[in-house]
Amino acid sequence: MDYAYAQRILSNNLLRRPLIVSYADKFGGTSTLQYWQAPTDEKGTPLPNVIYMGSPAIESPVVGVGIGMASSGSETIFLLIEKKERDFDSKKLIASLGLGDLKIEEIPSGRAIASARPALGGESLGHSNGDTGTFGCLVKDSANALFLLSCNHVIAALNQGQRGTDVVWQPGKNNGGTAKNRIGLLYDFAYITPGGSTGNRIDAALCKPDRLSDVSPSIKSIGSLSGSQSVSLNDPVRKSGAKSGLTSGKVRLKNLSVIVDYPGGVQALFDGQVGIVGTKTGKDFSKQGDSGSIIVDDQDRAVGLLMSCLSGTDLTIANPIQEVLQHFQVAIA
């Protein structure tokens, strides 16, 4: 058996994905057209596009394919398995591809998360103790010092963080980050009052980067921000999160009061929040792990900081971005 050939066949079928270009239309939907068919605005300028990955030829829990040596010393194909599925049979898969006599071994594995620099908004971020969410965007103070914006419960250990001491990783620990992925130190956070009598307004925190070259003002799959803005009911919005990627939605609720559950049985009341629902059939606007994402309007202006999503239904809770910026006396970078 030619193991190099077998590795190519397996990776082509299990890992390789087509690139799909999606164009946003004026109604908030998307269309997968070729670049020469791209929709244009009234001036004839092509609308912004988003490039994302399609599906592989064969869906499976395999996240990596490589050649190695078995304990017996023989050449072997190793399959990196993210999550073993009950109906997944690697031997049947090999046979279906005409590679029946191939020696294979499975290795339980998480996903490979790159610690690319500069880090972009929308990528994984977390406290060194394991709390993991999303790097929202860069903000700047009156002296033009830059900070990474995320949530208190993501990088400040839910009020327990020590300013100027606690280390922030990118990616976060739950996404494969280690001490080698340090990006900066906790700089400040808005204290969250627990319980249900005092209403909180924001769940937010700032990280001071170790090196400015390690961070970018761009948001993954969105690009540069155009300042900030408040929102109205039914306004179309988007976000890029570390867990669910780029999603589209609309403002469903404003002036929302809600009790938020945090790990360890902690609960906190929040007032004046924004409620957002997804607008793509079968796809929620956010998932656990997207906390800290920046929500933008149709002009790529920051409108909210994603802090939570309700279980059992598609409703995302966000802090109005103006409240966040005013608290820290910063602006969108």
Domains of the chain: 3-108 (no CATH), 119-216 (2.40.10), 236-321 (2.40.10.10)
Instruction: State the pTM of this model.
Output: 0.71
Residue 38 has pLDDT above 60, yes or no: no
Tokens, residue 198: 């005092």
Residues 212-217: what's their mean pLDDT? 96
Q: Residue 55 to residues 13, 21, 86, 97, 278: CA-CA distances in angstroms? A: 10, 14, 21, 18, 21
DSSP assignment string, 281-305: TTB-S--TT-TTPEEE-TT--EEEE
Looking at residue 330, its amino acid is V
175-197: pLDDT as tens digits: 989 999 999 999 999 999 999 88
For residue 327, the surrounding DSSP H or E stretch is helix 321-328
**What mean pLDDT is predicted for residues 191-213?**
95
